[in-house]
Chains A and B, each alone.
Chain A
Amino acid sequence: MALKKFVVGCFEDEKVLFPAVEKVRKTGYKFHDIYTPFPVHGLDKAMGLRETSLHTAGFLYGLIGTTTAVTFMTWVFTKDWPMNIGGKPHFALPAWIPITFELTVLCAAVGMVLTFCYICQLAPFVKKHTFHPRATDDLFVMVIECGEHTSEDEVKALLNEAGAQEVNTQVAEEGWWIGRYDQEQELYKEPNIA
């Protein structure tokens, strides 16, 4: 896995963070990520991250669960082993709804958790680089990825100017990434205030 260079800026306040995010996007540098102690409303939009496809995946997993449950029960109770249960029809759809529902939820939930872990590269055997230990406590840590043509000093100056408390450069492994999610970033647009 390739080593990459990152410029890390630490902010102490959301009020400073948001203008800084806007500034970085205007200049066109690439965010690696922003690590925050708690979920910050609207930060994803400010960073220009595209909307996650996790829910679409969840819907598809759910659909797989529904079809599995209905087809399996249909096969068992009408073809493989038809039984007379309380005089009910063999194809007893109302009685199967709870199981169909459970399997839908189970598939959607487990599938989404696994997908989420994959997207975020979370697994017991993956060692993740921590950019700042205080990111889980009280610091907003903005990490900017340096490409071939990125001037490290310019990024540092920009972050300092934007009000970062602490700025440094770190070299870290990128992780075992296969998807395209981290490469898609929307271009900055002036917000349209009507």
Chain B
Amino acid sequence: MSKQQFEISAGYKKWTNILLGAGVLTLALGVFFLAMSKDEVAQTRFWAVLLQNSVFFLLVVNASMFFICATTLAMGGWQMAFRRVPEAISSLVPVFSALAFLVFAGIIFGDKHTIYHWLDKEHVAHDPILKGKSAFLNPKFFMIWTIITMVVWSLVGAKMRKLSSQADEPMSLEESKKFIWNNTVWGAIFIVFFALTVASTIPWLWLMSIDAHWYSTMYSWYTFVSSFVAGMSLVALFVIYLKNNDQLGYVTEEHLHDLGKFMFAFSVFWTYLWYSQFMLIWYANIPEETVYFKPRLEGPYKVIFFLNLITNFAVPLLLLMRSGAKRSFSTVTVLAILIILGHWMDFYQMVMPGTMHEHYSLGWFEFGILALYAGLIMFFVGKGLAKKPLIAKYHPFIKESTIHHT
């Protein structure tokens, strides 16, 4: 029988420390050389990279809670064998919320026009389009809605995780029914709020407002899917890591197959939304809309733009299509890493063209902050996994998960 409790191994700790060390060093150097520099481009680079990473990783870890709530509402039992993994990942939401809040506070109260040019009051006064949007795009609304969002995500997520702990103790039939009902209610609350935030307002505020003149109704869905497919890849990575260490005994390749299907299907769905957004704008060819794609398709971001399609569509489509590939631990590991990095690049090309324009760089600071967030994820997920037994032994659906067969 495999181990019931996760213990952080020496190797895991070593890599966490290396990544965290590199990340903190980068951040310190970044504060010193970029944020405190007189050069406006360097300052913008500092805030834009922090914005990209803090938003991306916050949405990625929050996608885990979305996965939990969606499967709860669908009465899905198959994921119960590794349910504690997305739970541990989602326990990062308060931490990453706090970090993202600091970044937003820095941008909004630091009056960084180069990031959000709607912060410039004089400019807005003479700009009829931004003036029209000012009821939505103003610092007060931005900060209040951001705080509400982060607090509700964190609280409802914490409630779902707390409910899950009940399944570590034996339950009677009546208690089980009540347990499922409670899960359903809280899951539904989360999903509704998730739709109001990630699937609509939050990407408008945090990312789309970088190009404040431009708008796209596809944008929020596109952002959500990007973060969801990366989130599922992150879950798959941790499941594989634990399985390699002789933990999560109930997980078989059947469960991995379903995780692989999520990665495959949502990569395709991402492409569908990417294309829907791109094709309509390309075809209509209206200047106020094509302004978004000009720097990406023809300008300095051309390489990243097409690389994005290869890593996030072509490679997952072709390599994950066979059912054997989705059941292979090594293939899923490689593709999960590729998908996470690919969507990190996707967020990069969402943020940079509107902030850095042609002065973009992809160097020590960008990858250093990526290492910082990877380290934070390893550190906090490791802690979250070690806190509870890895399997909710008395969950009513656990049997369904152990005999799961695709």
Contacts and interface: CB of A to CB of B under 8 A. Distances in A.
Given A41-B405, A42-B405, A59-B321, A95 B279 contact: yes
A94 interface: yes
Interface residues of A, number: 10
Nearest to A42: B405
A41 B403 CA distance: 11
B305 to A, nearest CB: 13
B32 interface: no
A86 interface: yes
A86 B279 contact: no
B262 interface: no
Contact of A95 (B283, B322, B405): B283
Interface in B262-292: 275, 278-279, 282-283, 285
Contacts of B282: 94-95
Contacts of A55: 322-323
Interface string A42-67: 10000000000001000100000000
Interface in B303-335: 321-323
B405 A86 contact: no
A55 B283 CA distance: 35
A16 interface: no
A94 B283 contact: yes
A100 B321 CA distance: 19
A86 B283 CA distance: 9
A97 B405 contact: no
Chain B at the A interface: SS class: helix
B245 to A, nearest CB: 16
Nearest to B272: A101
Contacts of B279: 94-95, 97
Interface in A144-178: none
A42 B405 CA distance: 8
Of the listed residues A41, A86, A94, the one surrounded by the most CB atoms of chain B closer than 10 A to its CB is A94
Contacts of A41: 405
Contacts of B275: 94, 97
Given A41-B405, A95-B279, A86 B285 contact: yes
B381 to A, nearest CB: 28
Interface in A73-108: 86-88, 94-95, 97
Nearest to A56: B322
B145 to A, nearest CB: 35
Contacts of B285: 86-87
Nearest to B323: A55
Of the listed residues B278, B283, B323, the one surrounded by the most CB atoms of chain A closer than 10 A to its CB is B283
Contacts of A88: 283
A86 B278 CA distance: 17
B278 to A, nearest CB: 7
A33 B208 CA distance: 58
B88 to A, nearest CB: 27
Interface in B74-104: none
A98 B282 CA distance: 14
Interface in B139-171: none
Contacts of B323: 55
A144 B282 CA distance: 61
A59 B285 CA distance: 35
A12 B279 CA distance: 56
B309 to A, nearest CB: 12
A181 B39 CA distance: 70
B321 A94 contact: no
A43 B282 CA distance: 50
Interface of A: 41-42, 55, 59, 86-88, 94-95, 97
19 contacts: A41-B405, A42-B405, A55-B322, A55-B323, A59-B321, A86-B283, A86-B285, A87-B285, A88-B283, A94-B275, A94-B278, A94-B279, A94-B282, A94-B283, A95-B279, A95-B282, A95-B283, A97-B275, A97-B279
